[in-house]
Amino acid sequence: EVIDIEGKFLIPGLIDMHVHFRDPGYTHKEDIHSGSNAALAGGFTGVLMMPNTDPPPDNATVIYYWKEKSKSIPLNILFSGCITKNRAGKELSKFYELKEAGAVAITDDGNWVADGAVFRHAMEYAAALDLLVITHAEEPTIANRGVINEGYWSTVLGLRGIPKAAENIAIYRDIEIAKMTGAKLHVAHLSTAEGVRLVAAAKKLGLKVTAEVTPHHLVLTDEALAGYDTNLKVNPPLREAEEQKALLKGLLEGVIDVIATDHAPHASYEKNVEFNDAPFGIEGLETAFPVLYTELVLKKKITLEKLLLKMTVNPAKILQLPKQGDIKKGNYANLTVIDPKLTLKVSEELLVGKSKNNPFLGRTLTGWPVMTIYQGIVAYQRILKGVQ
Ligand code: DOR
Ligand code: ZN
Ligand code: ZN
């Protein structure tokens, strides 16, 4: 079959190493099928699912459920397990069993493992099993139940702040433990300039430390919270322009390896409450590429080549994915077609995922994925409705 893609970009399938598919336990927000549809519509052919489900994968049972439910979906769905039982930070989960079942990483995302002895033990064990440890770095006593970044806007809006120190302290400790144990540490969703500096220093020492940043932290700042929009409530919180500048610089200089969405769907009835009561989280699989293309590539802040490196090659390396396109091994290249001219307004109707807590609703974006090809199958094709 010949597909005409004149005037379009043919790129490697995007890989998102940080998604919450809410399955099992919170399937009113998303499930493996709806999350996969959102991923494919966003041009992604690979995702790493986070383990804050109910029940959580602190043993192999949920991994087996995931495997069964995802086996017929044309998307490379990768599994992570919990660091601690019930993500409670006390007892280690069954790493060997998780790895045997197919987990490629462990994380307590949403919670930082506050007990240093528990985290050290986890990192020793992970090093022995060659498991990637992903840290959600936020020291809870300093974070002090804040709801947005602590600074000018938290004062003006009268909201409790989360100091940048909460993230920085956590990253510092985790890197020191990486140094002690030799384990592979991946710092999720960096949001501070000091965090970038700490990761850069760790890399300079030759430690196996990698890091990611989200589209929302690269494009939005806490100033956007002036209207108390709960779709902008996220953890770590949106920070000031100065921090954002350091994130972009870190990305360009190679300190930050990966862009990952932290796709965190929540139902409208959960988000449409008083700011303090709303859950943290931004959904973003479908808008990630057009947001980054419109705000960074077209504005000449990053090249398309570098953007693709952060969304394909680097996450594949960190997750140790087999080389794509090795046809002798029955592995075809996963591909995405981007229409660099297509301009669409983000609306709830445009989004195929179950939840609509997207912070870019109402924005007009350019550079949408129009076709996603997984292992030789057209897994997604965008159908344009009405007059463009
Ligand atoms: O904003 C967030 N939402 N941060 C997290 O770490 C967890 C996530 C979620 O699961 O909703
Ligand atoms: Zn997190
Ligand atoms: Zn997350």
Q: Would you list the DSSP string of 192-239? A: -HHHHHHHHHHHHTT--EEEEE-HHHHH--GGGGGG--GGG--SSPP-
Helix or strand holding residue 59 (H, E): none
Determine the atom of ligand 1 nearest the C-alpha atom of 265. Answer: 11
Q: What is the pLDDT along the chain (388 residues), one digit of tens a residue?
A: 788 999 999 999 999 999 999 999 999 999 999 999 999 999 999 999 999 999 999 999 999 999 999 999 999 999 999 999 999 999 999 999 999 999 999 999 999 999 999 999 999 999 999 999 999 999 999 999 999 999 999 999 999 999 999 999 999 999 999 999 999 999 999 999 999 999 999 999 999 999 999 999 999 999 999 999 999 999 999 999 999 999 999 999 999 999 999 999 999 999 999 999 999 999 999 999 999 999 999 999 999 999 999 999 999 999 999 887 788 888 899 999 999 999 999 999 999 999 999 999 999 999 999 999 999 999 999 998 765 5
CA-110 nearest atom, ligand 1: 6
Cβ 16 under 6 angstroms from ligand 1: no
Query: What ipTM does this complex have?
Result: 0.98
**Active site annotation includes 222:** no
Helix (H, G, I), strand (E, B) or coil at 275: helix
H or E element, residue 104: strand 103-107
Half-sphere exposure at residue 36, Cβ-oriented, CA atoms within 13 angstroms: 17
Percentage helix, strand, coil, to 5, in the chain? 40, 20, 45
- What does the alpha-carbon distance between residue 105 and residue 63 come to, in Å, rounded to a whole number? 12
> For ligand 1, is residue 134 a contact (CB within 6 Å)?
no
Q: Which of 262, 277, 326, 339 is catalytic?
A: 262
Q: Determine if ligand 1 sits within 6 Å of the CB of residue 280.
A: yes
d(CA 14, CA 3) in angstroms, rounded, equals: 20
pLDDT at res. 270 = 98
Q: Is the Cβ atom of 209 under 6 angstroms away from ligand 1?
A: no
Atom of ligand 1 nearest to the CA of 234: 1
Phi-psi map region of 43: left, alpha, beta (phi>0 left; psi -120 to 50 alpha): left
Given this model, what pLDDT does residue 326 score?
81
Residue found under tokens 């790129």: 11
Give residue 88 CA to ligand 2 midpoint distance, Å. 15
Is 8 a pocket residue for ligand 1 (Cβ < 6 Å)?
no
Give the number of other Cβ atoms within 10 Å of residue 381's Cβ: 14
Predicted local confidence at residue 323, as pLDDT: 82
Pocket test for ligand 1, best of 19, 20, 225 (most atoms within 8 A of CB): 20
Q: Whole-angstrom Cα distance, residue 174 to residue 356?
A: 34
Number of alpha helices (DSSP H) and beta strands (DSSP E) in the chain: 14, 14
Residue located nearest, by CA, to atom 2 of ligand 1: 281
Tell me, rounded to whole angstroms, the distance of Cα 14 from its chain centroid: 12
> For atom 3 of ligand 1, which residue has the closest CA?
281
